Chain A
Amino acid sequence: MKYAPQLIKELYRYSNHIRQESVRMVCEAKSGHLGGSLSEADILSALYFHAMNIRPEEPDWEDRDRLLVSKGHACPGWYAALALRGYFPVEELKTFRKINSRLQGHPDMKKTPGVEMTSGPLGNGLAGGAGIALGARIQKKDFHTFVLIGEGDFQEGCTWEAIMFAGFQRLHNLTCIFDYNDSQVDGPTHEILDVVPIKDKWIAFNWEVFEIDGHNMVQILDALEWAKASHNKPRAIVAHTTKGKGVSFMENQANWHGKAPDCEQAEQALKELQEELP
């Protein structure tokens, strides 16, 4: 067995906690984006608790690996992962979207430790990540930059400018992870503006692609290891995920993209998640 069962269990526990904290935050704030936070949780867990070379106690350490969450609306999941990893107290998650908080409605790199790049307006994260990867190359640093994107990012033009650029520049220190849950604000992505074929698009732009089940921890770890291994092209991980993952009444429901659960719904969601806790 490649990974110790204990490690896999541990990472699933963290993804479960990321989901629970996300539900609590959005319920407390009475606004925010849960669907995408729940779909990205396993990926965040694998990155922060295993794959990335980071020092939460020294968030500006210059040789750290970077993660940019381009789908900035899904920051409840990101903030939860950062807090659980020790960037700031878990208690602080309660201040999400409230006045005087470090946890803005969309990520602010100058306010929140661990947030590598401001995000929210979709389609910018990959271009920013390519800039960081380029900055690393110019300064002969060998850290790795990951960018997490969603369908909205994939539909925005600037993402494609960045994909073309990174492919041409052979930014091998850059990995794009596509949290592909086939769902966006107005409904299923395949009904609004389909993004398939995904793999062929990326290959055509000189990237290498790995497709995985974005909720299978072993596959996620394999993909991240592949991404960090030495090669000469940027790499994309297409993670097939479920929007609202882990909460039965939110799964694959586009209307849970940006809706806050009321107390009763939040309690139900937490109960389901706690029952699933490994």
Chain B
Amino acid sequence: MTEMKMLREAFGDALVKLGGKNKRIVVLDADISSSLKTGKFAKMFPERHINYGVAEQNMLMSAAGIAATGLTPLACTYAAFASMRACEQIRSMICYPNLNVKVIATHGGIEVGWDGPTHQATEDIAMMRSIPNMTVVVPSDAVAVKLLLEQAVELNGPVYFRMGRNPVPVIYTDQQQFTIGKAVCLREGKDVLLIAVGTMLATALKAADKLAAHGLKCTVMDMHTIKPLDEIALLENARSKKLVVTLEDHNIIGGLGGAVAECLSENDPKHMIRIGVRDTFTESGAPQELYKKYQMDVGYVVQSIRQFIKKIRISEEEKSEG
């Protein structure tokens, strides 16, 4: 049985260790510290924990001020509120002057489930990615959270660190190396390139297993840093593939799918399938049911890839016969 762990739990644990080592870290909350799992840090370092109540704009702007005094604030809230309510503060007051603020966002994507579309951030990656100076990190499991958070804190400049809500499989061992801006290649296969972020990495790995049974060999990449995109690794892995598939719990517009499509179309155009929310608002429901209904589950991924490959083969055969 695969071990399951919530990324925000991993975040809360990692934070305590980092807080002990780095006295410049200050943690800011907006009344959902119980959800963001910052309680342990608050208990250990009360003088470096501030709760702003439900006031995200003030929290992010205050973070800019705190950063201007030389500290490293981590402003924690849900992705929907960080990216939308406090977008101006992040864009004009933090990223424009390149201040050292870490925006810690959980509950990204439709896997928030039951709370419904108001709380499902499906545009946040696109918004954050289009802001100059911003680094966008989307860890996929508890190990990645721990290692990438450490680097995000050390990096001098704004970072958007996006996690989901629910427990997800632990994919990596503690020996795994992570570098912000360098994708991880988990599996190599010659036919299809699967590129995933966050909770969708587990889906990509399962889909790769099922496709192997159908004779299709997949390379699987974890593009944990969406910005700056690891273009070198992307182009290298895409080079000989028939099809590139992106998987993200986010709108297919502007996020990972957008970033990969931009890079490939400028350098080495490829057939692509973008798995994600298809430019729609979804609804309340259990996450697995939503993934199925909105075509983001393993079954749909496998089926759409097989259909696409079949289509490509037919057209190749027609060409060679013609």
Q: How far is the CB of B199 from chain A (nearest CB, A)?
A: 32
Known: A62-B70, A134-B50. A158 touches B61 (CB 8 A): yes
Q: Is A16 an interface residue, CB under 8 A from the partner?
A: no
Which of the 9-residue segments B51-59, B185-193, B291-299 touches chain A? B51-59
Which chain B residues border A136 with CB–CB below 8 Å?
69
Q: How far is the CA of A124 from the CA of B88 in the complex (A)?
A: 9
| Chain A: CB-nearest residue to B96 | A118
Q: A108-B96, A161-B57 are in contact. List 8 more A-B contacts (CB 8 A).
A: A117-B97, A121-B92, A124-B57, A135-B26, A135-B70, A135-B71, A158-B57, A161-B58
Q: Which residues of A contact B98 (CB under 8 A)?
A: 110
Task: Report whether B69 and A135 are in contact in the complex, using a CB–CB cutoff of 8 Å.
Answer: yes
Most buried by A among B52, B55, B62, B98: B62
Question: B48 an interface residue at 8 Å Cβ cutoff?
Answer: yes
Q: B residues within 8 A CB of A165?
A: 52-53, 55, 58, 62
A128 to B57, CA, bound (A): 10
**Does B6 interact with chain A (Cβ within 8 Å)?**
no
Q: Check A130–B65 contact: CB distance below 8 A.
A: yes
Tell me which residues from 18 to 59 in chain B have a Cβ below 8 Å from any Cβ of chain A.
26, 47-48, 50, 52-53, 55, 57-58
CB closest residue in chain B, given A129: B65
* Cβ contacts under 8 Å, B73 to chain A: 131
Contact across chains for A138 and B88 when beta carbons are under 8 A apart: no
What residue in chain B is nearest A157 (Cβ atoms)?
Answer: B57
A86 to B61, CA, bound (A): 29
- Do residues A128 and B47 form an inter-chain contact, with CB atoms below 8 A? no
Tell me if A23 is interfacial: C-beta within 8 Å of chain B: no
The contact of B69 among A132, A161, A164, by CB within 8 Å, is A132
Which secondary structure dominates chain B's binding surface?
helix
Complexed CA–CA distance, A129 and B58 (Å): 11
Partner among B53, B62, B88, B93 whose Cβ is within 8 Å of the Cβ of A130: B62
Partner of A131, one of B57, B66, B70, B96: B66
What is the size category of the interface that chain B forms with chain A?
20 to 34
A152: Cβ under 8 A from any B Cβ: no
The number of residue pairs between A and B whose CB atoms lie closer than 8 Å in the complex comes to 100
**Residue B66 contacts which of A120, A135, A169 (CB distance < 8 angstroms)?**
A135
Residues of A bordering B, CB below 8 Å: 62, 108-110, 116-118, 120-121, 124, 127-136, 138-139, 141, 157-158, 161-162, 164-165, 169
A39, B55: Cα distance in complex, Å: 31
Quick one: given A118-B93, A138-B47, are A127 and B61 in contact (CB under 8 Å)?
Answer: yes
A162 touches B62 (CB 8 A): yes
Instruction: Report the separation of the CA atoms of residues A223 and B93 in the bound assembly, to the nearest whole angstrom.
Output: 29
Instruction: Tell me whether A131 and B62 are in contact in the complex, defined as CB-CB below 8 angstroms, given that A136-B69, A138-B47 are known contacts.
Output: yes
Query: Smallest distance from the beta carbon of A141 to chain B beta carbons, Å?
Result: 8
Whether the pair B65, A127 counts as a contact (CB closer than 8 A) is yes
With A118-B92, A118-B96, A118-B97 known as contacts, the answer to whether A124 contacts B68 (CB < 8 A) is: no
Closest B residue to A158 by beta carbon equals B57
A-B contact pairs, 24 of them (CB 8 A): A108-B96, A108-B97, A109-B68, A117-B68, A117-B93, A117-B97, A118-B96, A118-B97, A124-B57, A127-B58, A127-B89, A128-B61, A128-B62, A130-B58, A131-B62, A131-B66, A131-B68, A131-B69, A135-B65, A135-B69, A158-B61, A161-B58, A162-B61, A162-B62
Q: In the complex, which of the residues A121, A134, A157 contacts B65, with contact meaning CB atoms closer than 8 Å?
A: A134
B244 within 8 A of A: no
Identify A128's interface contact among B53, B65, B71, CB under 8 A: B65
How far is B55's CA from A54's CA once the two chains are assembled, in angstroms? 32
CB distance from A62 to the nearest CB of B (A): 7
CA A138 to CA B67, docked complex, whole Å: 12
Docked-complex contact B68 and A120, CB < 8 angstroms: no
Task: Note all chain B residues with C-beta closer than 8 A to A131.
Answer: 61-69, 73
Q: Is the CB of B66 within 8 A of A109?
A: no
B26 touches A127 (CB 8 A): no
Docked Cα-Cα span, A116 to B58, in Å, equals: 18
What residues on A are CB-neighbors of B50 within 8 Å?
134, 169
A198 to B7, CA, bound (A): 46
Q: List the B side residues contacting A134 at CB < 8 Å.
A: 50, 62, 65-66
A128 to B61, CA, bound (A): 5
